[in-house]
Amino acid sequence: MKAIILLSLLLSFDVYARPQVARYKLGQALFFDKILSGNKNISCATCHHPFTGSTDWLSLGVGEGGTGLGFSRTLGTKKNAIHERVPRNAPHLFNLTDQYVTTVFHDGRVEVNPEYPNGFKSPAGHDLPEGLNSILAVQALFPPTSNTEMAGNHNENPIGHAATNKNWFGKNGVWDRLVKRIRNNSIYVDMFKKSFREIKTANDIREVHIANAIATFEEKAFLSLNSPFDQFIRGDETAISRRAKKGYELFKGKGQCISCHNGTNFSDNKFHSIALPQIGPGKGHGSNMLEDFGRFGVTGKEEDLYKFKTPILRNIALTGPYGHNGAYDSLKDIIKHHVDGERMLYNYNIKMGLLKSRSDLDKTDVMCLSDEIKGKILATKDTVDIDLSNKEINLIIDFLHTLTDPKFTNASKLIPTSVPSGLPVHD
């Protein structure tokens, strides 16, 4: 009798587990497949690649039209050249599960909010489709709707045209057209049937299934809870060096880092202004249309001017450049900014970041704003300067390196050899 019960339990577990495994593989394929971009030349992985710490290692992303990955990514050539840089730094994907976060994006424009029918507030408002399983699934819907990131220019393809008109979820909109691409691919249709019990035919596939599958992959693939520091906290005194232990004490104590960088993810999930310099094309804010007002752009509240979400420090040594616009390429410089924000703001040099240069773009969006605007930014600063020596900063950096999970120093197993569309996985 016990054997029968055990077999029944195992079979029921298998019935549950198989769709989960299938959904992970489906999400992995979609994450690396350029089929979800307007011109079929960029995927989610391009800017969030496992080889580059689930980000792109650039201050400002090079989206639709670029070629290559990470440092080697180009701005494209001739008619296929990019029209502008992505206005913000590509955020990493580590531990972005509902267990740890309630907002995503630097300004928190996607957030858990029970006042909305599907439980999430987003730029789509009440047009956001129902059936999304997590905040990561909601996030996955938006990069394909951006002309600069994945959709392409308005005159390059119908998806780019729909994105320009902000037709994201309507008839012949961005996602309507992307879903049709997936439905017309027999391999994907089969994978969706194995991943979602409610999908019986190609016509049952919706954008929420695509987003939920991508989120399943991201949640599992980029879960990071086994760094040397985690091992140290679990009782292994030898897991980190003496210098790192001293750095941890400074992080908790004199450096006051833990006041914002706390909890499992070393983030309070709140929004702060640390008076970072502004570079890039901006978000269309301010009288010059080149500023980025951060959280204010979402809430409209004066107290949110120039505030951005406290970054998660998991694998921080792998995820530079740092700041909402990648203003600083080195951990040391971003810490020095925390130590003395005013001096770093007024003495900022664009070479402290990591930008792909092109003369026409450099003239329009690689700039540090006027001293007047810098003064306004500084006036919103809600963190205090800290008196740390160069030696103490280096000790904190030693500690931060212990937050690197070894499995992400070589994450090749997360990368598929091919994808159902037949498009190249690697540029």
Rounded to whole angstroms, the Cα distance separating 63 from 48 reads 11
DSSP sequence for 89-155:
-----TT-STTT-SEESTT--EEE-TTSTTSEE-TTGGGSPS---SHHHHHHTSGGG-IIIII--TT
- Packing angle between helix 186-195 and helix 2-32, nearest 10 degrees? 140
Rg of the chain over CA atoms, in angstroms?
22
3-state percent breakdown (helix, strand, coil) of the chain, nearest 5: 45, 5, 50
Rounded to whole angstroms, the Cα distance separating 87 from 356 reads 13
Rounded to whole angstroms, the Cα distance separating 306 from 298 reads 11
pTM of this structure: 0.94
- Nearest alpha-carbon partner for 257 in 348, 392, 94, 404: 392
pLDDT digits (tens), the chain, 427 positions: 555 555 454 444 454 467 889 999 999 999 999 999 999 999 999 999 999 999 999 999 999 999 999 999 998 877 778 888 999 999 999 999 999 999 999 999 999 999 998 899 999 999 999 999 999 999 999 999 999 999 999 999 999 999 999 999 999 999 999 999 999 999 999 999 999 999 999 999 999 999 999 999 999 999 999 999 999 999 999 999 999 999 999 999 999 999 999 999 999 999 999 999 999 889 999 988 889 999 999 999 999 999 999 999 999 999 999 999 999 999 999 999 999 999 999 999 999 999 888 877 777 666 667 889 999 999 999 999 999 999 999 999 999 999 999 999 989 999 999 999 999 997 6
Classified as helix, coil or strand, 364 is helix
Rounded to whole angstroms, the Cα distance separating 188 from 181 reads 10
Pairing of strands 120-121, 271-272: unpaired
282: which 2 tokens? 């901006």
